[in-house]
Amino acid sequence: MVEEIRAAGLTRRAVLTAAVAGGAGFAGVMLASPANASDDAAELIKHLTGKTPTESDRLHLAMPRVFANGYTVPLTLVIDSPMTEADHVRDVRVLAPRNPLITVATFHFVPQRSEPRVSTRIRLAQPQDVLAVAEMNDGTLLMTRTWVEVATNGCA
């Protein structure tokens, strides 16, 4: 049987190489597809939290579109909330799906004692959509995203 396969010009190594190359090409097309970006982000958040997020304009995630290196990318997040007992933000997660560790930051807020805004710097492994997910006091998840292009890997 081995002789028959070699006679046809196929080796186990050639078949495995073709399978890996084909799979990588398929995965690359799926990751780069902008049509799936929203569904992929919502599915990731649902997997992490068990809840489906809603895209919201109450979250304002400000990051540079292009940044020289991924080690210290500035991030400012502001959530429109009165921070009363009836309407407040419990916590916010910042996610970078293409980083080795997806959750890059988590911030907790207290009603009537904190302002729902954060400024910090995060690391990014490669160009990607950065997601901010806010859990409100009623348990709903609000989400926003922004694309950031980094030239060098900040996650070594």
In a domain, 131, yes or no: yes
Q: Are residues 64 and 102 in the same domain?
A: yes
Q: Which of 145, 144, 142, 146 is nearest to 51 (CA)?
A: 142
In a domain, 156, yes or no: no
Q: By percentage, how much of the chain surpasses pLDDT 70?
A: 74
Note the pLDDT of residue 49: 78
Residue 29: band (very low, low, confident or very high) from pLDDT cuts 50, 70, 90: very low
Tell me: pLDDT of 17 over 60: no
In a domain, 67, yes or no: yes
Gap between the Cα atoms of 29 and 18, Å rounded: 17
Q: By percentage, how much of the chain surpasses pLDDT 90?
A: 58
Gap between the Cα atoms of 112 and 124, Å rounded: 33
Q: Are residues 53 and 76 in the same domain?
A: yes
Q: Are residues 64 and 98 in the same domain?
A: yes
Gap between the Cα atoms of 82 and 156, Å rounded: 40
Q: Are residues 87 and 114 in the same domain?
A: yes
Q: Are residues 69 and 139 in the same domain?
A: yes
Tens-digit pLDDT profile for residues 120-130: 999 999 999 99
Tens-digit pLDDT profile for residues 42-82: 788 888 877 888 899 999 999 999 999 899 999 999 999 99
What is the span of the domain harbouring residue 6?
Answer: 2-31
Domain holding 86: CATH number?
2.60.40.2470
- What is the value of pTM for the model shown? 0.71
Q: Rounding to the nearest 10 degrees, give the CA dihedral for residues 50, 45, 73, 119.
A: -50
Q: Are residues 22 and 58 in the same domain?
A: no
**How many domains is the chain built from?**
2
Q: What is the DSSP letter of 153?
A: -
